[in-house]
Amino acid sequence: MGKVAFVFSGQASQYPGMGKELAEKYPVAKSTFDEADKVLGFSISKMCFESSEEELKLTANTQPAILTCSVAVARVLAEKGLEPDFVAGHSLGEYSALVCAGSLKFADAVRLVRKRGTSMQDAVPQGVGAMAAIMGLSHAVVADVCKRAANDEVCAPANLNSPDQTVISGHAGAVKRAVELASQAGAKRAVILPVSAPFHSALMAPMQQKLEQDLRATEFADLRVPLVTNVDADTVTTGSEAREALIRQVSMPVRWEESVRLLIDEGVNTFVEVGPGRVLTGLLRQTERSAGALNVEDEKSLVVTLEKIAAARSDAA
């Protein structure tokens, strides 16, 4: 069989109860949640397993919650003998990917994303910024729409997710104008997203400076497997390259479609979405239907994924 990439989801994949089943069944998953609780000084595990959607939706909680759940799943997969040839993560997911690749210590990643989430929440006053998803227009048409909607405000593509989906980010008024223009230009759908800040836009620059200090003070080891970065859609293998990519990622677009295409060019034909939700699996299907898309978030999906990969390997042998 071809190569396997682990892909790690970002914000908006969270849901109450995530990770609970695996933590109850696998000691390595439970110890991951226990470690995160200790590092943070409060129970992120309780938040994942029992809290409300409202509480989980706060960016300062969402980010460490998704990271912890994703790393717990990756550690269960490693115990089962499944390791990736490449890793990539969507926005926040890049931190999970770096823990999986051995570049970032889990405790450091938990601390960083908690601060990242808090800083992102505080970066722009509530209501000043917004994000919207545009479906059914090319990235180039969306970029043009943003330019026309800006009117001296910030409005730009933030996530280039698939041929069919671009997320835009910037000042609330400009994003609203872009949604109207996109609908006029023939978008299948154009909707404002329920997020608390205009991520991956120039409005995040002040927060980028804060996060840069934290990232520079954190140790990044060289990676065991290559990571495809959001910001360049290119592979990196050294700790310093990984750190620089995370710094620039804050105010730059996530080039997800290009990242997926690069992985396919590198010989990846099986993508495993590691952690809560199936957002990336959906984007992969929009980008390249022939690639194998699996996900692991609970016991059932774990068993299915391990069986499918074992069958593919025995066929290849």
DSSP output for 257-274: HHHHHHHHHTTEEEEEEE
Same-domain check for residues 73 and 16? yes
Residue 135: give the domain boundaries: 129-195
Same-domain check for residues 173 and 298? no
Q: How many domains does the chain have?
A: 2
Same-domain check for residues 94 and 134? no
- What's the pLDDT at 122? 86
Alpha-carbon span 149 to 178, nearest angstrom? 5
Same-domain check for residues 19 and 97? yes
From 195, 215, 234, give the residue that closes a domain. Answer: 195
Same-domain check for residues 80 and 220? yes
- What's the pLDDT at 240? 98
Say which CATH number the domain at 40 has: 3.40.366.10
pLDDT of residue 196 exceeding 80: no
Say which CATH number the domain at 154 has: 3.30.70.250
- What's the pLDDT at 275? 98
Of the residues 200, 201, 251, 259, only one is catalytic, namely: 200
The verdict on whether 200 is a catalytic residue reads: yes
Same-domain check for residues 102 and 179? no
Alpha-carbon span 235 to 266, nearest angstrom? 10
More confident residue, 315 or 305: 305
Same-domain check for residues 97 and 154? no
Tell me which DSSP letter residue 219 carries.
Answer: -
The verdict on whether 240 is a catalytic residue reads: no
pLDDT digits (tens, 9 = 90+) for 108-143: 999 999 999 999 888 888 889 999 999 999 999 999
SS3 content of the chain, % helix, strand, coil (to 5): 55, 15, 30
Of the residues 45, 70, 91, 103, only one is catalytic, namely: 91
From 195, 220, 244, give the residue that closes a domain. Answer: 195
